[in-house]
Structure 1
Amino acid sequence: MVDLTGSSKARLQKRLDRATAHLETPIAAVDLAAFDDNAAELVERASGKPLRVASKSVRCRTLLERVLARPGWHGVMAYTLREAVWLVREGVTDDVLVAYPTVDRTAIRELTSDPKLAGAISIMVDHPAHLDLIDQVTSPGKRPDVRLCLDLDSSWKPGPLHVGVRRSPVHSAAQAAVLARRLVARPGFRLVGMMSYEAQIAGVGDLLPNAVRSRVIQVMQQNSLTELIRRRADAVAAVRQYADLEFVNGGGTGSVAATSADPAVTEVTAGSGLYGPTLFDAYRAWRPTPAAFFALSVVRRPAPRIATVLGGGWIASGPAEKSRQPSPYLPAGLRFKPDEGAGEVQTPLLGPVADTLRPGDRVWFRHAKAGELCEHVNELQLVDGESAAPAPTYRGEGHAFLG
């Protein structure tokens, strides 16, 4: 990560301000130089394995196309089937993996009625019931084969504990084999891939203010990865007895290097690292350069060392805690008022630098998560040097696939 401190932060603020001076706040901006640097860094960390871009972390068609045009990137991991259909129809990609099972009958009907879509999109399954629903929409003899990806649970289960997210019920190689056998026996389907997302490694920062907690997380992640590499290899081998897999997907921004080193994995997913949100400041292995920001205007000065901006409550999903709040970033030295935080319609900011701000001045924030920034704005300002060009977000194109 480029260490944006002191004069480098001041230069960044000057560029963002100049590039967007003609616009009214709120403004969301992406620094293209940082975005491209992060894309290149992720490719280097993948060590030759292709990267699949996680669209939920980008949520802007222009930027998806930009990263997919770079060497080392191929294919999209979408978060809903309806989004996947749209991306293929718009020509963004001809290779989409939908990361979560779908029960969207309308989107399933569209998928199964178009051979082009059926050949470009793979859907996630972890139970035969997912296939039952598709058969109810369109019977096997009246559709092209539906491409399937088996979701292998990547959580770590030492003894009675469960470390990681609750995703697929398929955890062991034996369970994967049983499901694979049932999937390939069903007419109208083709098992083409496996996915295993190690959220407790890729999505948990290991460099926290509390040194003891950091060490506990580091040990957990090391032991979890060791166990997963063995189990994933066994599961892939078991499934390959029944299906000729085209891909085995794993990882996320926080584990690109570690997951790429796993021989069983053929491709790695990344997305958040392109924007560099604040949650990724807490990673030892690699921290992306901050690339995505949003600006709010100061509207009043209620007291010395307090400047209040309009809006600000752009809270990220996940547990309701401090880490999910946005962070005031530019100018440096601002912080939230503890009893108010980031407010719905106003946000008081504290610190000596607040005395330098006047109504009409801007404060630039960083969001805690990547793509969720785009749910608040209709367009991103793509900043190149000291100029900016607008690019619509999913929301700006009229789509709220999850909201």
Structure 2
Amino acid sequence: MIPLPEPAATPWRDPAAFWPGVLEATAALDPPFGVLAVDALAWNAHDLLRRAAGTPIRLASKSLRVREAIESVLALPGWHGVLAYSLREALWLAATVDDVVLGYPTVDRGAIAALAADEEAARRITLMVDSVAHLDLVDAVVPPGARPQLRVALELDMSIDLPVLGHLGVRRSPLTDSAAAIALGREVVRRRGFRLVGLMGYEAQVAGVVDRYGANRAYERVVAAVKRRSIAETTERRALAVAGLRRIAELEFVNGGGTGSIESTSADASVTELTAGSGLLGGHLFDRYRAFRPAPAAAFVLSVVRTPARGVATLEGGGWIASGPVGGDRRPLPVWPPGLAYQPREQAGEVQTPLSGADLRVGDRVVLRHTKSGEPAERLAEYALVRDGTVQGTTATYRGEGRTFT
């Protein structure tokens, strides 16, 4: 377990001292390696609780992919349970976490069979469904009479459609209104072998859209207006669905939001818990939000392996790209030395990444920050834990524990 008391100091607010300190602390390590600044992680975990203003937070595991860090955050009062991204991952985590909600539907027949064969896992894990087809698939794998009752939550689609702008949000669920959610809820309640326990709705067009664009204030005003419209519309949609579902089942939870929408989602009276994950590691995408600014808790370090031209230094690797619309904001951000920039025609590469803007030599090291989520953990076996200017051990990623979930 990683102790996470709230830190008194915030050294990361001075990058000119913080990043050289990280490099000095990790001088004995050979790149590529990841760094987890423990005090920054602790600050983010406590800051998210402050923003939640008393609403419990469920941890989105895909954004960390480090089991020890997940369990350490969950030890803090106010954090509870995991939102997993794979049923096989949920089964693995449920050995030590007693409340795991699967954030996405699954059609993994082997994992469904494993869940149905384990009464304790079935008690701890909640499946996510958004259609009768998901229920039918579970029944086809293991009939109701041959399994324990399985916990089920519904996902309500929280995207919106606007004139000119069109569809905003993510296409996650066909349950686009309260009537559709209630109809599926009735089917879950009617069928043997399932128990309806929750509802989830993720308003990506609020939580996942940056709202600070520097000099482009006109665009910022458009984003702010769209977010206000979305919050009003999705709050009403969710409240209607919750009210209808509570008439047919005893819901244990109503989950909503993400790191970027903690304040607005917690203000929704129908929501009983929030979700956050990316804000714990503080990827650079969150530098462009107005309401909050996470600490850069995670970073990775690469080596300069060649200098092909004057003013150009090439890193070994570096193409650790985030999910989402293809664009410059999905790339890792070089943060130290300052002033580094990608080559426009080459960008971040799988094997090499040329950068310009600093006088670097072969063997020098460059610190980069990931964009938003668990990208580094998919490529690293462990993070070095840095606190008080020293490496105080390591913590394994999922990959380091031999786990490669989708």
TM range (shorter): over 0.9
- Deviation at residue 2 of structure 1 after TM alignment: 6.2
Question: What is the distance in 1 between the residues matched to 2:386 and 2:342?
Answer: 27
Question: What is the distance in 1 between the residues matched to 2:20 and 2:177?
Answer: 53
Is structure 2 residue 352 aligned with structure 1 residue 346?
yes
Could you report, residue by residue, the CA deviation over 1:149-202 in whole angstroms, capped at 9, with x for unpaired residues?
010011113469322110111121111111111110000000000000001000
Structure 1 segments of 4+ aligned residues over 4 angstroms from their partners: 1-5
Could you report, residue by residue, the CA deviation over 1:199-248 in whole angstroms, capped at 9, with x for unpaired residues?
10001111124333222111111100011111111110011111100000
Which of 149-158 and 15-24 deviates more?
A: 15-24
**Unaligned segments of structure 1, at least 5 residues:** none
Counterpart position of 1:124: 128
- The code of the aligned residue for 2:389 comes to E
Counterpart position of 1:141: 145
Question: What is the distance in 2 between the residues matched to 1:201 and 1:3?
Answer: 30
Is structure 2 residue 270 aligned with structure 1 residue 237?
no
- Deviation at residue 303 of structure 1 after TM alignment: 3.0
- Secondary structure at the counterpart of residue 210 of structure 2: coil
1:244-263 equivalences in 2 (<5 Å): 244-263=250-269
Query: 310, 313, 324: which is aligned to 2:330?
Result: 324
- The code of the aligned residue for 2:36 comes to V
Question: What is the distance in 2 between the residues matched to 1:306 and 1:337?
Answer: 9
Counterpart position of 1:176: 181
Using structure 1 for the length normalisation, give the TM-score. Answer: 0.95
Could you report, residue by residue, the CA deviation over 1:339-398 in whole angstroms, capped at 9, with x for unpaired residues?
2111222222111xx22x322111000111221211111111111122221111111111
Query: 111, 114, 125: which is aligned to 1:107?
Result: 111
Counterpart position of 1:33: 39
Question: What is the distance in 1 between the residues matched to 2:309 and 2:25?
Answer: 31
Counterpart position of 1:365: 368
Could you report, residue by residue, the CA deviation over 1:59-105 in whole angstroms, capped at 9, with x for unpaired residues?
0001001101111100000001110000012x1x1000000000001
- The code of the aligned residue for 1:371 comes to G
Counterpart position of 2:207: 202
- Deviation at residue 129 of structure 1 after TM alignment: 0.9
- Deviation at residue 22 of structure 1 after TM alignment: 1.6
Query: 41, 49, 54: which is aligned to 1:48?
Result: 54
- The code of the aligned residue for 1:274 comes to L
Counterpart position of 2:381: 378
Question: What is the distance in 2 between the residues matched to 1:293 and 1:60?
Answer: 14
Question: What is the distance in 2 between the residues matched to 1:156 and 1:320?
Answer: 22
Question: What is the distance in 1 between the residues matched to 2:333 and 2:163?
Answer: 38
Kindly report the root-mean-square deviation, in angstroms, between the aligned alpha carbons of the 2 structures. Answer: 1.6
Question: What is the distance in 2 between the residues matched to 1:192 and 1:47?
Answer: 24
Question: What is the distance in 2 between the residues matched to 1:4 and 1:175?
Answer: 47
Any conservation in 2 of the 1:28–1:295 contact (CA below 8 Å)?
yes
Any conservation in 2 of the 1:15–1:385 contact (CA below 8 Å)?
no
Is structure 2 residue 76 aligned with structure 1 residue 70?
yes
- Secondary structure at the counterpart of residue 157 of structure 1: strand
- The code of the aligned residue for 1:312 comes to G
- The code of the aligned residue for 2:170 comes to V
The count of residues paired between Structure 1 and Structure 2 equals: 395
- The code of the aligned residue for 2:205 comes to Q
Counterpart position of 2:405: 401
Using structure 2 for the length normalisation, give the TM-score. Answer: 0.94
Which of 20-29 and 299-308 deviates more?
A: 299-308
Question: What is the distance in 1 between the residues matched to 2:144 and 2:98?
Answer: 23
Query: 316, 324, 339: which is aligned to 1:310?
Result: 316
- Secondary structure at the counterpart of residue 109 of structure 1: helix
- The code of the aligned residue for 2:386 comes to V
Question: What is the distance in 2 between the residues matched to 1:215 and 1:375?
Answer: 36
- Secondary structure at the counterpart of residue 383 of structure 2: strand
Question: What is the distance in 2 between the residues matched to 1:312 and 1:169?
Answer: 37
- Deviation at residue 117 of structure 1 after TM alignment: 0.3
- Deviation at residue 296 of structure 1 after TM alignment: 0.5
Question: What is the distance in 1 between the residues matched to 2:210 and 2:294?
Answer: 13
Query: 3, 15, 19: which is aligned to 2:25?
Result: 19
**Unaligned segments of structure 2, at least 5 residues:** 1-8
- Deviation at residue 58 of structure 1 after TM alignment: 0.4
Question: What is the distance in 2 between the residues matched to 1:129 and 1:200?
Answer: 27
Is structure 2 residue 346 aligned with structure 1 residue 337?
no
- Secondary structure at the counterpart of residue 107 of structure 2: coil
Counterpart position of 2:4: none
Which of 314-323 and 158-167 deviates more?
A: 158-167
Question: What is the distance in 1 between the residues matched to 2:311 and 2:12?
Answer: 24
- Secondary structure at the counterpart of residue 371 of structure 1: coil
- The code of the aligned residue for 1:381 comes to A
